[in-house]
């Protein structure tokens, strides 16, 4: 058996539609469907345009070479302070024991 529509299937469908809706209503129904499709296409197009317009701009992180002068010195100072605090904490724990 073939799964596709045969020509006689299409003829039967057309006859059923004409019998159900009547020949006078078919042009109006076709116009309504056409208008609905036009509105649907316009709305989906607007949604796509809004979606592309509202995408956030991709920002790149500053590179490591773009550090301000003295940053390496600041990092070294902070590391030294951290080491001193750790030493003080260790000494405080030894005295508390």
pLDDT confidence tier of residue 35, bands split at 50, 70 and 90: very high
d(CA 27, CA 24): 7
Q: Is the pLDDT of residue 62 over 90?
A: no
Q: What global pTM score does this model have?
A: 0.38
Average pLDDT estimate for 76-89: 90
29 neighbors 21 (Cβ within 8 angstroms): yes
Residue 65 has pLDDT above 60, yes or no: no
How many domains are contained in the chain?
A: 1
Place of tokens 């080491």: 83
Put residue 6 in one of left, alpha, beta given phi > 0 → left and psi -120 to 50 → alpha. Answer: beta
Domain that holds residue 40: 23-52
Residue 63 lies in a domain: no
- Residue 16 in any domain: the answer is no
Residue 41 lies in a domain: yes
The yes-or-no verdict on residue 11 having pLDDT over 60 is yes
Write down the pLDDT at residue 40. 94
- Domain-located, residue 7: no
> Is 73 part of a structural domain of the chain?
no
Q: Tell whether the model's pLDDT for residue 57 goes beyond 70.
A: no
Establish if 11 belongs to a structural domain.
no
pLDDT of residue 69: 65
Angle at 25 between CA 21 and CA 29, to 5 degrees: 95
Task: Give the model's confidence band at 44: pLDDT under 50 very low, under 70 low, under 90 confident, else very high.
Answer: very high
Eight-class DSSP state of 66: G
Number of neighbours of residue 26 by Cβ within 10 angstroms: 13
**Is 64 within the bounds of a domain?**
no
Residue 1: the pLDDT is 47
């Amino acid at each position: 058996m073939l799964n596709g529509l045969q020509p006689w299937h299409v003829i039967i469908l057309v006859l059923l539609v004409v019998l159900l809706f009547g020949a006078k209503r078919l042009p109006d129904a076709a116009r309504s469907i056409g208008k609905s499709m036009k509105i649907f296409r316009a709305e989906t197009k607007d949604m796509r345009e809004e979606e592309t317009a509202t995408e956030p701009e991709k920002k790149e992180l500053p590179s490591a070479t773009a550090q301000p002068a003295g940053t390496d010195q600041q990092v070294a100072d902070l590391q030294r302070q951290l080491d001193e605090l750790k030493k003080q904490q260790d000494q405080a724990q030894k005295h508390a024991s």
